[in-house]
A and B are shown apart, each in its own frame.
Chain A
Amino acid sequence: MEIDRPDGRSANQLRPLACSCSVLHRAHGSSSWAQGETKVLAAVYGPKAGTKKNENPEKASIEIIWKPKSGQIGKVEKEYEMILKKTFESICIRTIYPNTTTTVIVQVLHDDGALLPCAINAACAALVDAGIPLKHLAVAICCSVTDSGCVLLDPTKDEEEKLKAFANLVFPNAIVSVLPDRSLKVGTEPMAHGIMTSVTQGAMSGILQHFL
């Protein structure tokens, strides 16, 4: 079904992506990631010795510090910090540097929709830039769902306000390797189809039938 989007994109068209790495000199790794007008800057410091309380000292831990564009951090930012932490803990090879903490600082420069996926992409690029050992990359996308069940990718702020239901999904990247094809498949699905992180908002009426 054709849907008119204000900026003339088709339903599954992303906004132009822009990424530059090593933009900060003092950080061990940094990147700036833009999806259209949404722009996030991420810096990685570490691994530093020691872990915080309540963390498993037998594994490397990741600390996320979310800096909003303005104002203090609230519940939303706390939730984002937790989601980023859990997501990156699942892609880092955490047994290599036990009892260390890697700090990722995420600075929002501008929010024009799809902020969380943009931040995940930025932080992932910064981790790669810092040379933190990762199992695979994390690729994040925001899908908004219209009332008729159509999916629009990478919504802008205006679209986010109009459409009430959206899902932020994170997938692993498709690994190109010399291993036999079968080892990268789980059942009938390729590995890159497995959802790593999913955060949804709003009731999605037409979506459930896909899972029945």
Chain B
Amino acid sequence: MGLPNTFEDLSSEMEVDAFRRLFPLRYFERHLAESIRPDGRPLGKARETSIFLGAVSTAHGSALVKIGSTTMLAAVKMEVMSPSLESPDEGCLAVDFFMPPICSPIVRPGRPAEASPVVSKQLSDTISSSKMIDLKELSLVSGKAAWMTYLDIYCLDADGSLYDAALLSAVAALSHLQIPAVAMNDDGKIVLVSDEDGQKRAQEPVNKEKRKLTLRSIPFSLTCILHKNYILADPTAEEESIVETHLTIVLDTSGQLISLYKPGGQVLAYTSAIQDCVALTRQRVKELKSLLDKENSAMEV
């Protein structure tokens, strides 16, 4: 296998589980030499992904996303607010990412996980820089009322590629979002229009019926880990703990590069490695887009 394998003899004697725990890197590299990963995937393949829309019935839009066993629950809640003076005809979107202690043994109760503010910042950066949502669309009455949109993402199971799963759940929840119907009453206040009192539509309707938010170009991401010359797509938590070099690429459906995120790591990213990662990401974007479209059309039927 070409590796200077000092543990070769040891590994043939030892039980697989013990070898995996004691020499995680060696165990990992033995797999890579055979072009396979510890969970049986080929190197460039992402885990099985599923999207379940409308998981939270009390929210205006929600989605439960699983990538392998990484699970994210995203929910969107809308409130009417008065817009800021600088942008009177724009609404607002607040993104928050939570890692409760349920998601991983590393997260202790009481102390927030280190990763959560970072992922949360990355998500709001991605959503704003992809220009997926036109904030003007969230305006109701210019200078008077606009939608304040809270997008909350909960990590239920953290098994690697947190950012990818979080972004997918955020995008899915936004695509499922139904903006509630509201009207302005005589006092100039915005009130919700419920379906029952349809006859009392004498009030000036601001947002006549429930509608979907237009998403212009949807960002999707893929995290790869770089180890020596290997590129592994969509790592699990175990792989992430062994290899330090992570590279996340975000592309949108119109093929623009939204983000290239690589925080340090032992392996330097050369043009060829980035090219390979971009190619893997493009493929993944296609897969995720068709999956999301399928789920959305299934909801409409």
Q: Using CB atoms and an 8 Å cutoff, list the residues of chain A in contact with chain B.
A: 54, 74-76, 78-79, 82-83, 85-90, 164-165, 167, 170, 172, 186-187, 189, 191, 193-205, 207-208, 210-212
Contacts and interface: CB of A to CB of B under 8 A. Distances in A.
B53 interface: no
A211 B271 contact: yes
Given A54-B106, A164-B129, A203-B252, A197 B264 contact: yes
A83 B265 CA distance: 10
Nearest to A138: B264
Nearest to A210: B271
A83 B263 contact: yes
Contacts, number: 107
Interface stretch (B112-120, B136-144, B153-161, B181-189): B112-120
A194 B269 contact: yes
A172 B271 CA distance: 15
A194 B125 contact: no
Contacts of A202: 129
B131 interface: yes
Given A82-B114, A89-B244, A211-B275, A186 B268 contact: yes
B257 interface: yes
Please classify the interface of chain A as helix (H, G, I), strand (E, B), loop, or mixed, using the class held by over half of its residues: mixed
Interface residues of B, number: 35
9 contacts: A78-B114, A87-B264, A90-B264, A191-B268, A193-B271, A199-B263, A201-B129, A211-B278, A212-B275
Contacts of B260: 167, 198, 200
Interface in B207-263: 244-245, 251-252, 255-263
Given A79-B122, A201-B125, A187 B272 contact: yes
B274 A211 contact: yes
A200 B114 contact: no
- Listed from nearest, the 7 A-B pairs whose CB atoms lie closest are A194-B268, A86-B264, A86-B263, A87-B264, A78-B117, A90-B264, A75-B121
B271 A189 contact: yes
Nearest to B129: A202
